[in-house]
């Protein structure tokens, strides 16, 4: 299992060294240690760490917060703030960047490790949730075709005038193939092969089309003589 790569952005040399030593003892891979925001962005681009530890008050200013904002815009990498005696104004500004944790100076190695692990867990869960939501949004896009026909990808159902059509799996597979390429003729052999891959069933396309036409209220499946079938856009 590869070590978790961590970047440290800290302008206090003693604190930076302590961080590096503590992280290495806990089996993290410290890929870079820098003391300013500009160099940090350069090193992050080169090393692509999995976690970035940032001192909120770099060089006694809010450069750490500005750096965090830049990371948020340019990279999908979680960051954890180091805090000490910051003003309420700086803390409030830091909170707006939505860090994945805070480590208070002087830090304890166990607290450091726990903060990193909790931050990684939160980041992973957010990424998985975001991915699931994107998949659901993509799957839930209803495709409208013909006159009053619709396909619901999430349910894998075809409807006519809002009513779900009673179709067999091979019929659904064939309509999925045609509606995924609206206006394009799908050759007989291609359709047969795709249906076999999706349903593990060998079918006669012409028989399948005949059955579908008896179930559909309108003739949406068009025949390109000697070539294949299609549904108009």
Rounded to two decimals, what is the model's pTM?
0.60
CATH number for the domain spanning 185: value is: 1.10.10.10
Identify the pLDDT of residue 138.
61
Radius of gyration for the chain, computed over Cα atoms and rounded to the nearest angstrom: 29
Q: 192 falls in which pLDDT band (50, 70, 90)?
A: very high
What number of other Cβ atoms are within 10 A of residue 172's Cβ?
Answer: 18
Q: Are residues 40 and 133 in the same domain?
A: yes
Q: Which helix (H) or strand (E) holds 93?
A: helix 88-96
Identify the pLDDT of residue 198.
92
Angle, helices 13-25/109-139, rounded to nearest 10 degrees: 70
Q: Are residues 20 and 55 in the same domain?
A: yes
Q: Are residues 18 and 56 in the same domain?
A: yes
- Any bridge partners for residue 158, and if so which? 151
Q: Are residues 124 and 13 in the same domain?
A: yes
Give CA 107 to chain center in angstroms: 33
Q: Are residues 35 and 116 in the same domain?
A: yes
Q: Are residues 186 and 211 in the same domain?
A: yes
| Residue 152 to residue 204: CA distance in whole angstroms | 26
| Total domain count, the chain | 2
Residue 155: domain span: 143-231
pLDDT at 224 over 70: yes
Q: Are residues 129 and 208 in the same domain?
A: no
Domain end, chosen from 86, 116, 137, is at: 137
CATH number for the domain spanning 96: value is: 3.40.50.2300
| Phi, psi angle pair for 224, to nearest 5° | -95, 100
């Amino acid at each position: 299992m590869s070590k978790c790569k961590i970047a440290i952005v800290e302008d206090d040399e003693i604190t930076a060294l302590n961080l590096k030593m503590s992280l290495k003892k806990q089996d993290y891979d410290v890929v870079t240690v820098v003391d300013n925001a500009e160099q940090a962005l350069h090193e992050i681009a080169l090393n692509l760490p999995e976690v970035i530890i940032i001192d909120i008050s770099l060089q006694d200013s809010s450069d750490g917060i500005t750096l965090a904002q830049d990371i948020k815009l340019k990279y999908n990498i979680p960051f954890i703030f180091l805090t000490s005696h910051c003003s309420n104004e700086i803390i409030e500004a830091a909170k707006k960047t939505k860090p994945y944790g805070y480590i208070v100076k002087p830090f304890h190695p166990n607290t450091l490790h726990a903060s990193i692990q909790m931050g990684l867990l939160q980041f992973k869960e957010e990424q998985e949730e975001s991915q699931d939501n994107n998949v659901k949004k993509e799957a839930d896009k209803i495709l409208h075709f013909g006159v009053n026909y619709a396909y619901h990808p999430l349910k894998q159902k075809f409807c006519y005038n809002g009513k779900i059509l009673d179709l067999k799996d091979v019929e659904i597979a064939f309509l999925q193939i045609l509606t995924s390429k609206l206006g394009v003729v799908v050759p007989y052999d291609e359709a047969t092969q795709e249906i076999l891959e999706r349903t593990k069933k060998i079918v006669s396309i012409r028989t399948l089309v005949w059955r579908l036409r008896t179930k559909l209220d309108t003739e949406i499946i068009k025949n390109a003589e000697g070539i294949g079938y299609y549904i108009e856009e």
